[in-house]
Amino acid sequence: MKLNPWFWSGLFFFALFNQGAWCDSGNYNSVLLGERAAGMGGAFTAMTGDPAACSYYNPATLALMEGTSFSASANLYNKYDTSFSNAGNLSDSTLKLNRGSFQGIPSSAGSANAFGTFAVGISIITPDYDIFNGDISLNSDPNATSFVNYKDQSLWVGGNLAINFTPDLSAGITVYYTSRDFQRATADQTVVGSTTKFTYEEKVFTSNNVVYILGSYYRISPRFALGLSMRLPSIQLSGDGSYFHSVLDTSVSGKTTITSQKNIASLTHIPMKLAAGIAYEVPKVIAIAFDVTGYGADSYRDLADPNAGDQISFRQVINYSLGAEYYLRNWLALRSGVFTNFSSHEEITDVPQRQGDHIDMLGFSANVGFFTGKTSISLGGYFTGGRGESTQEVGQKIVVTPKVQYIYSFLVASSYHF
C-alpha cells in the first residue's frame, strides 16, 4: 500500500489551521504521559513500546506492541513553584527545587490485549493539572493584597482499537470520556487609613466531554518510521457551575453585597491538535524521535452567565519535542528529551477582564529504565518552566502582574508484559 505525500501534507495543514475546540490550559505540555514517552520529552507520535502513553500520543502504535497483553502505570510527584513577581529566570530554576507545593498525580495507566492483527485496550490519563495557593501583591499598591486558591484538573478514561493493515502500516482510534474540575477562590483586601474593602469571589464548575483521537503509523524502512495523530474537536456532554461574590466596604456602614448563583451552564473546549513525528530506532540499542504538534485558535466563555464567566481566547501555536533512548545494557536504558511548552494564550495587551496567563516555557526530561524479564521500572522526571504575565484581581480591580512558574515532576512508572 503506497502513501501519497500530498495527502499527508494536506491533512496536516487542514487540521492545523482549522478552527477547533480548546481547553482553558494555555500550556499543553505541562504534563507528559507514560514512562518511555515522558523520558523522551513527549516525542512519541512515531514510537511504540509504552502502553501507558500510546493511546494518547498515537493509538495506531498500540498494534505494534510486543506480547499478547500488557499493562503499565505512571505516577508523577510534582513540585509547583509559582510566583507573581519580576523575580525568576530559567537559569536559576535548579536553585528552587526545594520550593513550592508537592502534589501526587496518577498521570497515566493503560492496558491492552493483542490478537492477530488487532489490539484493544483501555487508557486512564490526567493530561491537565494546575494548582496555586498563595498571596499576590503589587509593588505599586502596598495596601492591596489578594489571596488566591486555584485548582484545575482533568481526568480522561477511554478505550482504544488498533489494526495492522500490513507489517509496515497501522491505524488506530482512541475514544476518551473526559471530566474537568475547576475551582478558583479569590479574597481581595484593600486598606486605606481606617477604611477596608474586602471582596471574596468563588467560582466552581465541572464539565464532561467526549474526545476522539485518530492515528496512523508507517514504517518507511527497517529503522525509520513516520507517525501522524489527530485529535478531533470535543463533543460537550454536560457542564454545571456556581458563582459566589461578596463585597464588604466599611466606608458604607459595613454593608455587605452578595451575589450567589447556582446551576450555571459551563463550557469546556478540548483542543483539536495534530502531531507529526519521525523516529529512528535500532531495537534494544538506540532510538531518536522528533515531533511537531500544531494547535489552532478559538474563543469562548466558560460560564453562560456574563457576570460569572470568563472569556477564554486561544491563538495558533506549535510545540516541538526531541527525545532519545540509549541502552547501556539489555536491562538498562537511559532516556532524555527537550521540548517546548509555548502558551496558546495571546500576549496580554488590554485588561478589561480576566485573560489567560501568557507564559512561554521550555522543558527537559530524563529517566532510566530497568528491565527484568517481563517487567520494567522507570525512574526519573522532567522540568518545565518560564516567565510571562497574568491577570489577577488585586486592589479591587483586574491588573497585569508578572508570573513565574517552575514545575518539577518526579516519575515512578512500571509495566508488565504477559
Please, what are the domains in the chain?
Answer: 5-417 (2.40.160.60)
- Which residue would you say has higher pLDDT here, 380 or 72? 380
- CA–CA separation, 380 vs 371, rounded Å? 15
Band of residue 82 on the pLDDT scale cut at 50, 70, 90: confident
Band of residue 88 on the pLDDT scale cut at 50, 70, 90: low
**pTM (2 decimals)?**
0.89
Q: What is the mean pLDDT of residues 182-197?
A: 85
Q: What is the mean pLDDT of residues 336-343?
A: 97
Give the per-residue pLDDT at 141: 72
Say how many CA atoms lie within 13 Å of 354 toward its Cβ: 17
- CA–CA separation, 202 vs 204, rounded Å? 7
Q: Provide, rounded to the nearest whole percent, the portion of the chain with pLDDT above 90.
A: 53
What's the count of helices (H) and strands (E) in the chain, helices before strands? 3, 19
Please name the residues in contact with 165: beta carbons below 8 A apart, sequence gap of 6 or more. 1, 117, 171
Cell readout for 191 is 486598606
Cell readout for 102 is 508537592
Band of residue 255 on the pLDDT scale cut at 50, 70, 90: confident
pLDDT tens-place string over residues 140-158: 677 778 899 999 999 999 9
Lowest average pLDDT, out of 45-49, 98-102, 289-293, 322-326, goes to 98-102
* Backbone φ and ψ of 259, nearest 5°: -125, 125
- CA–CA separation, 404 vs 91, rounded Å? 13
Q: What is the mean pLDDT of residues 254-264?
A: 85
Cell readout for 22 is 480548546
Say how many CA atoms lie within 13 Å of 220 toward its Cβ: 12
Please name the residues in contact with 37: beta carbons below 8 A apart, sequence gap of 6 or more. 43, 44, 47, 50, 52, 53, 57
Please check whether residue 251 is in contact with residue 195, taking contact to mean a CB–CB distance below 8 angstroms. Answer: yes
Give the per-residue pLDDT at 60: 96
- Which residue would you say has higher pLDDT here, 140 or 359? 359
Find cell 495557593 and name the residue: 133
**Rg from Cα positions in the chain:** 23
Give the per-residue pLDDT at 253: 64
